Structure 1
Amino acid sequence: MDDMELRKTHPQKYYLKFICNSLYVLGYGSCWYEETPRTNFHKIFYKIWSGIANFFIVIIVINEIMANFRPNLTAKEQNDLVQFTFGHSLIVAKIVTMYYQRDRIKAVLKKLLEDNRTIFISADIDKSSVKKVKVYCIVLVSTVYLTIVSAYIDGFRAHFNEGIPIRGEITYYPTPLDSGILVNILRFIVEFHWLYIVTVMNLIDCMSYCTLIFLSSQFKLTQTYYNLLRKKYTKNSNKKTCNVLGEEYKKDFLIGIRLHENALWCAHHVQASLGYIYSSQICQSIILIVMCLVKFVTSARNMTVLLANMTYLSAMTVMTGAYMTAGGDITYEASLVSTTMFHSGWDLVVFDKELRTLAVVAIQRSQAPVYMTAFGVIILSYNNLIMVLRSSYSFFAVMY
């Protein structure tokens, strides 16, 4: 199946495949569950490229961390460096987590995207989930790259006002006092590193958002199935005998249970495979929001600095908000399954005691809440988004 046909028939798979393939091209291994035939030369070349890409990310981050020991840092560089030290280190933590969990991610994606399609499909749910994914990812990518652009605008201002080289990241070497062709090439490599690591971060976050949103659509699919079940029984009540209707309903009800069990399995394993990424994001957001608030207080008052800080703060809020709302949607959609299951028409098959027992057990199981968590304790929900933002401000207020 080519990409254009896949985009029409299975849009969820198309977009997740695109993200996973993009991560593969950037050198961070394959998270996609479908095997692609590759030659030995390709495998050897990819190992070399992957090693270079990972070494490039790590060595520049180490260079940034070492910059904290430079004796000639300005006040602005010190403030920016704290953000980069924590921010880029936590991005590396996301990358390591994704790479370490890639086999489990493959299994989750396969189950999430393939299993239920052999049972029941809803084109409307597919379209609505993909539309939500596009909104989340476009807002995330736009906000993050706008932050980079605003930082470079501030860099241009500093270059023309203070005569220092234009820079985004702050490194131990080269320093603003170093000059020469090789030094300028190295400066370009460092600035490219910022774009590169942010692109990898965006892809990992987008993959996580897609997985959470598509998981919530699985619970929505289960609701839709049970809503249709009662209509189907009522529609055929005058055409078939009670025994035939009862047997058909029982088979259909068991299919609904299978849909729900698949969704619960995916929820458990999505949490297990991607939970560390949620944790990294919450930790990153709290630390960097606090650092950004400190910069508001300590930095010079001018429009470019204000723009850079505001976009940075917006990026952190958007990234955290996307995780929190996507996780909250899963909890909400899962909570509605028990109601749709109860009203699916099982009470109409009054003669089948086995079905009634099965329905009671299934409804009880569906009433157990489904949560996505960070650190195993912070539930991803709408309310906790406000809690994280309040905690960041409270920590800033106490510290400053």
Structure 2
Amino acid sequence: MRNYLILKTLCKKIYWVGSGNFWYEEGVIRDDNSIFYKIFNHGLFLTYGFMTLLEILAALIGDFPEDEKSDSITFAVSHTIVMIKIFSVISNKKLVKKLIRDLIKVCELYEEDSLMVEKYRIMKINIVAYVFIVYGSTACFVFEGLRKMHVGSHFVTVVTYYPSYGEDSLLAVITRITTTFVLIIMMLTMIVSVDCFALANLIIFKYKFITLKGYFEKLKEDFDKLLETGNPRKAAEQLTQGLIAGIIMHKELIRISTEIDKAFGTILALQLFQSSGSAVSLLLQITLSDQLTLVARMKILFFIIALFFLLGLFLCNAGDITYQASLLSDSIFYCGWHSCPSQYPSKARRNLGLLVLQACAQSQRPIVMKAFKMLELTYATFLLVVRGTYSVFALIYAQNQ
């Protein structure tokens, strides 16, 4: 599936979950400035915000048992970060629209169908796995609420300041059920509008470098074929023109990388904080509590897996971008310029060599995605975060023994 169709389909889903129209073409997706859509959009996010506020109040001043108090803190921190992530994307809507347009057009003429099929398959596997883990975690929270109700307590998934722990009125029951449905819808908005949207852009951007690498390799093949036909001057001229076009595409990719950082940099940075900080709290909750049921332990484990799985998807795909960008220098250098025939003017050969030298020098400074403009988003960073999280957990756990 081509990038145009992938991103247009994703933008349609983002529209239907209430986050607005991010597509760059007018009239393709419905207008998000209509009065009915604005009511839907504002009402949805006011509901999310109000529930998050109640979670924060529950975490700060609520009087709940130990397990529900821990859940209130977990949800308050996580959902606050989710809201910030959602609004960071929505506030950059114009930039995202431009990013989508530029990302689709660059290298579009040279994308091979087999590569597009591979990209779509990887993207689908990543997204489906993430959705399964997120809703697996949500299901565990729901099952734990049902278990509590079965043993004589009350049903609860999202712990909010109202209703209080001991209140079992009809309004309290309706509120607890309503917040569960809001949680499910909020997870859908987070998955579609933020996490999968950012992930799709990272994967597409990574495959742009793979496409450009293949483009330079094909320049070499075409150059050799023309040399074999006995037309060295045409071969050299075509190589020069192709090399210039490739360098322009490379510069465009470098520029797009800054747009990706502006559009999704906050999301990547917050995910680092959320995965590490929340994981320490959740691991301590498992190890220090003796009263957790199997379902309660499963809901915490699913939550931790979801946090680190998403972080892994972000960091590994960002790391892949750096790796694929670093491979361009070899493809450029071996494009065939050194095989230019002696019949080709010496000045033109020198200019071609200088062009290759400049392109190689530029590609040897590969793109590195960063969080907070300091921490590199690579495979090594993912391992560093996992080890650091475990080290902090082990230190706090040891002090509590």
TM-score > 0.5 by shorter chain: yes
Matching residue within 16, 21, 34 for 1:30: 21
Partner of 2:180: 191
Give the letter aligned to residue 323 of structure 2.
Answer: Y
Kindly state the Cα deviation for residue 124 of structure 1 after the two structures are TM-superposed. Answer: 1.8
Kindly state the Cα deviation for residue 42 of structure 1 after the two structures are TM-superposed. Answer: 6.9
- 1:258-316: CA deviation from partner (whole Å, max 9, x where unpaired): 22122212222111211111011111101110111111123324322221222111111
Partner of 1:291: 281
Q: Is the 8 A contact 1:86 1:287 kept in 2?
A: no
Partner of 1:82: 73
Kindly state the Cα deviation for residue 169 of structure 1 after the two structures are TM-superposed. Answer: 0.3
Work out the CA distance in 1 between the residues paired with 2:332 and 2:29: 46
- 1:223-243: CA deviation from partner (whole Å, max 9, x where unpaired): 101111111111111324322
1:201 has 2:190 as partner: yes
Partner of 2:321: 330
Give the letter aligned to residue 213 of structure 1.
Answer: I
- 1:175-208: CA deviation from partner (whole Å, max 9, x where unpaired): 3433344433322221111111111111110111
Partner of 2:229: 239
Say which is worse superposed, 334-343 or 179-188, in terms of deviation.
179-188
Any residues of structure 2 matched to 1:306-345 within 5 Å, and which?
306-345=297-336
Query: What is the aligned residue count?
Result: 389
Say which is worse superposed, 32-41 or 67-76, in terms of deviation.
32-41
Partner of 1:3: none
Gaps of 5+ in 1: 1-6
Matching residue within 366, 369, 375 for 1:378: 375
Q: Is the 8 A contact 1:216 1:329 kept in 2?
A: yes
Kindly state the Cα deviation for residue 56 of structure 1 after the two structures are TM-superposed. Answer: 0.8
TM-score, length basis structure 1 = 0.92
Kindly state the Cα deviation for residue 148 of structure 1 after the two structures are TM-superposed. Answer: 0.8
Matching residue within 219, 222, 238 for 1:229: 219
Kindly state the Cα deviation for residue 384 of structure 1 after the two structures are TM-superposed. Answer: 1.1
Q: Is the 8 A contact 2:21 2:29 kept in 1?
A: no
Kindly state the Cα deviation for residue 40 of structure 1 after the two structures are TM-superposed. Answer: 8.5
Q: Is the 8 A contact 1:82 1:291 kept in 2?
A: no
Work out the CA distance in 1 between the residues paired with 2:99 and 2:367: 17
Q: Is the 8 A contact 1:226 1:344 kept in 2?
A: yes
Work out the CA distance in 2 between the residues paired with 1:121 and 1:39: 29
Partner of 2:11: 20
Poorly superposed stretches of 4+, deviation over 4 Å: 37-42
3-state SS in 2 of match to 1:184: helix
Q: Would the alpha carbon gap of residues 357 and 83 (structure 1) be closer, same or farther in structure 2, given more than 3 Å must change?
A: same
Pairwise CA RMSD of aligned residues? 1.9
Gaps of 5+ in 2: none
Work out the CA distance in 1 between the residues paired with 2:393 and 2:313: 23
Give the letter aligned to residue 201 of structure 1.
Answer: M
Q: Would the alpha carbon gap of residues 254 and 71 (structure 1) be closer, same or farther in structure 2, given more than 3 Å must change?
A: closer
Matching residue within 357, 361, 365 for 1:364: 361
Partner of 1:216: 206
Work out the CA distance in 2 between the residues paired with 1:210 and 1:135: 12
Matching residue within 55, 58, 65 for 1:64: 55
Matching residue within 268, 284, 290 for 2:258: 268
Q: Is the 8 A contact 2:163 2:175 kept in 1?
A: yes
Say which is worse superposed, 305-314 or 329-338, in terms of deviation.
305-314
Kindly state the Cα deviation for residue 388 of structure 1 after the two structures are TM-superposed. Answer: 0.7
Work out the CA distance in 2 between the residues paired with 1:273 and 1:297: 38
Work out the CA distance in 2 between the residues paired with 1:40 and 1:278: 29
Partner of 1:394: 391
Give the letter aligned to residue 80 of structure 2.
Answer: S
3-state SS in 1 of match to 2:215: helix
